[in-house]
A = this chain, B = another copy of it.
């Protein structure tokens, strides 16, 4: 198998799991958060900075790289790791989420999805086979089945038809996968907010025996309690010896709630996206550093944080940079926000080791709401 997953333990207090995931580019403990490097770069950061803040696996987007610079170019460069000089693990999504987000610009058939490029309006097409071929060319350690990300809300019949197509597409992806010993292809469970469909999706995917399974179509607009309910219902249908990946989740509360329900992997653009609005993530909630309130605040972004930004710079300086439209402001908040998210997961792992993940989660969630 292209990846190995060793389940080290489950917390005695909750469903939280400690695992060790090994790819061709390294081993790391789960649960883990994956920073997003959409266009073969985690925005504003060098790989050296990403490494320094503790990232062990990052995500990159097939849709974007397919359109620019093109997977053939990345393959010529020696693959995505070499192209972007990220020596650790990489996961690529399948492009499904981005393509389906185009709404009026795409048309779904059994064969695949026809869409218009957000760059130049050109007519494009992605199918399970092509999405897999593109991901084979990019060469990430973990690749994803091409699925339809069922929107929220979606009625039962739509969600059912969508799920069943996603299952048929998954079989085609598996069939098309050209490098099964080098890259692990994960299945994606859809089903919207319909519990029996989620169960059906989990069973169908499990039967295809993927090395890992993702939950898709969550965190797409539904209330968080509903997402947690779906997690609680679906996770028991997923095999315990395979990593479980909740796609697109990255707020601190949802990371914690996901871990408690047995999720091992997460990704989200949130830490770097809010950085671009001058917003920092902290244990006490969001701090909008660009606000005038911080103009003469010489404290770090977050006391006690071990990141490069907090070890050196004041809120007043970061605010000055943001107001002056200096890139370094985005860089410093991105460093902090990613370090915050990665450290939260590291703390969570330690709590699982010590069978206190429930206590730890309660404390984190209480402080976030304070």
Which one of A47, A64, A308, A326 has the highest number of Cβ atoms from chain B below 10 Å of its Cβ? A326
> Which of A69-77, A147-155, A213-221, A257-265 makes up part of the contact surface?
A69-77
A46 vs B73: C-alpha distance when bound (angstroms): 31
Q: Are B328 and A44 in contact (CB under 8 A)?
A: yes
Q: Are A43 and B316 in contact (CB under 8 A)?
A: no
Residues of B within 8 A of A317 (CB): 40, 77, 83-85
Q: Are B77 and A47 in contact (CB under 8 A)?
A: no
Q: A69-B323, A316-B69, A330-B327 are known contacts. Are A298 and B45 too (CB-CB below 8 A)? A: no
A330 vs B326: C-alpha distance when bound (angstroms): 12
Residues of B within 8 A of A288 (CB): none
Question: Looking at the complex, which one of B47, B49, B320 makes contact with A69 (CB distance below 8 Å)?
Answer: B320
Which one of A43, A49, A296, A324 has the highest number of Cβ atoms from chain B below 10 Å of its Cβ? A324
Q: Are B296 and A76 in contact (CB under 8 A)?
A: yes
Chain B residue nearest to A332 (CB atoms) is B46
Residues of B within 8 A of A316 (CB): 69, 73, 77, 83
Residues of B within 8 A of A45 (CB): 328
10 contacts between A and B (CB under 8 A): A39-B321, A43-B328, A44-B327, A46-B331, A46-B332, A69-B316, A73-B320, A78-B298, A85-B312, A85-B317
Chain B residue nearest to A314 (CB atoms) is B77
Instruction: Rank and list the top 10 A-B pairs by shortest CB-CB distance, nearest first.
Output: A69-B320, A39-B324, A85-B312, A44-B327, A41-B328, A41-B326, A327-B327, A83-B317, A39-B326, A77-B298
Is A158 in contact with chain B by the CB < 8 A criterion? Answer: no
Residues of B within 8 A of A324 (CB): 39, 64, 68-69
Is A295 in contact with chain B by the CB < 8 A criterion? Answer: yes
Whole-angstrom distance from the CB of A158 to the nearest CB of chain B?
34
Is A48 in contact with chain B by the CB < 8 A criterion? Answer: yes
Residues of B within 8 A of A296 (CB): 73, 76
Q: Are B44 and A308 in contact (CB under 8 A)?
A: no
A298 vs B84: C-alpha distance when bound (angstroms): 12
Q: A85-B312, A296-B73, A298-B77 are known contacts. Are A46 and B320 too (CB-CB below 8 A)? A: no
The size bracket of the interface on A is 35 or more
Residues of B within 8 A of A48 (CB): 308
Q: Would you give the 0/1 interface string for A265-297, flagging 1 where the beta carbon is closer than 8 Å to chain B?
A: 000000000000000000000000000000110
The A293-338 residues at the B interface (CB cut-off 8 A) are 295-296, 298, 308, 312-314, 316-317, 320-321, 323-324, 326-328, 330-332
The A133-183 residues at the B interface (CB cut-off 8 A) are none
Residues of B within 8 A of A73 (CB): 295-296, 316, 320
Whole-angstrom distance from the CB of A205 to the nearest CB of chain B?
33
The A41-67 residues at the B interface (CB cut-off 8 A) are 41, 43-49, 64
Residues of B within 8 A of A68 (CB): 320, 323-324
Q: Are A298 and B76 in contact (CB under 8 A)?
A: yes
